[in-house]
Structure 1
Amino acid sequence: MDGPGCPLSGGAGAPGAASACAGCPGQAACQQGTNTGPDAGIAKVKERLGQVKFKVLILSGKGGVGKSTFTSLLGRSLASKFPEKNIGILDIDICGPSQPRVLGASGEQVHNSGSGWSPIFIEDNLSVMSIGFLINSPDDAIIWRGPKKNGLIQQFLTEVDWGQLDFLLIDTPPGTSDEHISLVTSMREANLTGGILITTPQELALLDVRKEATFCRKMKIPILGIVENMSTFVCPKCSTESEIFPRANRKEEVEATLLGSMPLDPRLARCCDTGKDPLIEMKDSPAMISLNSIVNNFLAECKFQP
């Protein structure tokens, strides 16, 4: 039933192929050959996301800096601060989708209707879409070349029925690869708000985030700011903070607004592993206090008016 343009068609044994293609709202377009061409895709993205007020990329130059964790925290915080606003999280880290587990939605299944794929709701005003909901097992490896990944990203941007959204947070893979180019190209007429760069304090991470900043400038993506994650370690017993990463020379930092710094707290890692909400489980912790400041600075950069 799947056509040549379907990113999830890969023959027998392809991860997620049977379940995703069986309910794919783009089947008709695949069969008719009408879902081809970059211009048609750009127009569909513009139409689908035209009503989303703020579209924000969460970016990192390297893996392991807490990008997916921060994306989930930002989504939860916005949903909590503004119960009347609708927040969506799109996980396009095709090979390493983290959002289903971090948000406590592992094992959920995506359903489709005449208007497209329905995202999974974490709260009444917080929803998420990820390839993690389309594969048979979280242990399945997504072994795809670039065109197949790009095809799924295109479908995520055009076929997910978000409803009325105020914020769409897009959790991207680390680096500046095919997925990023496909995403930015597809959204070039959808009024992308900008990107947040996530890093850790040491020079190695800052070197990579500078490359990410160069990518943003070349692709004309406004940089909303930088979040320095794991800036210190917070003892879960006495709340004493200690630096665990050597700090880089500040003169070499990226020329962008520092939205704030978040400490490393083992309780936050446990919440993410079990899908619990850190805003509830550890609401008075230094990490959540820092998060609140970062979110306020982010809203100011977006010129958000409640």
Structure 2
Amino acid sequence: MTFRGDYAQGQGANVNTSSGSGRGGGGLGNGAMMLLPLLLRGGGGGAVILVVLGLLYFSGAFNGILGGGGDESQSQSQGNYTLEHCQEEGSSNEYDDCRAAATFTSAQKIWGDILPQQANVDFQPAEMTIFKNNVTSGCGFASADTGPFYCPRDTTAYLDVSFFEDLGQLGGSNGPLAQEYATAHEYGHHIQNLEGTLGLSDYKNPGADSAAVAIELQADCYAGIWAKYASEDGVLEPITDQQLQEALQTAQSIGDDNIQRRSGGDVDPDAWTHGSSEQRAEAFKSGYESGKMASCDTLNRGVYTS
């Protein structure tokens, strides 16, 4: 998906960088709070994740499925990582990290308008950290294998763009709109945090009808809302049918049922935390087609304007 005008330069306000040692096993370290990732790499299976006192930890045992892993002792420091290259004209259409930064920056503006209008909630901007290999967040230490996530304690979305390479191994697309969907989903969690509903997500109580699934599907729907307004407001070039299908394909690829199948296990709806492939794609599509938070009311709160 092609950015226009000022957004063709990916560096934006409230976007930071971080780099750590090479990508190794493990996910979220001690001292973590609730963390909202884009996917669970075991599809909600208890053998892959540990849920302790409602706080999400990743064991890293499933890295092989997505091509991650490796001995951290073999890794080398990446040095100082910056987004200086994102100041170049057209950078957000060329570099994955600049595209993520531009998506985040545009989401700040779009939700700054939408949230007060449709939910009567005051808007406060989020932060974003684009990192390499690992990062220490307000919710604890995380590696690249955690995938994109949002930490409510520091109101920051975290992303290592190497995640986009993993999407293809799950059957998803690495196309621009598919990447933007991942960033917009995490921004959706920030909106839920401002609404005061994010804490309802409880990974200790998974299931197809769980609050955890409802929260994740709403964030998918919010990502669709971003895509609609970004296209209509001139932030993006008009979204083509092919680009939309790539985003829907990616949403399907990170459904709990697909990840469970690819892990070699059975499909177990009772272990779901993010929703099925069909649900995730439909949620994004609903937000994209309507542009209304009311169409994303997976928690049935009935508080949004129509």
Report the structure number with the largest CA radius of gyration: 1
Bigger helix share: 2
What is the TM-score with the length of structure 1 in the denominator?
0.30
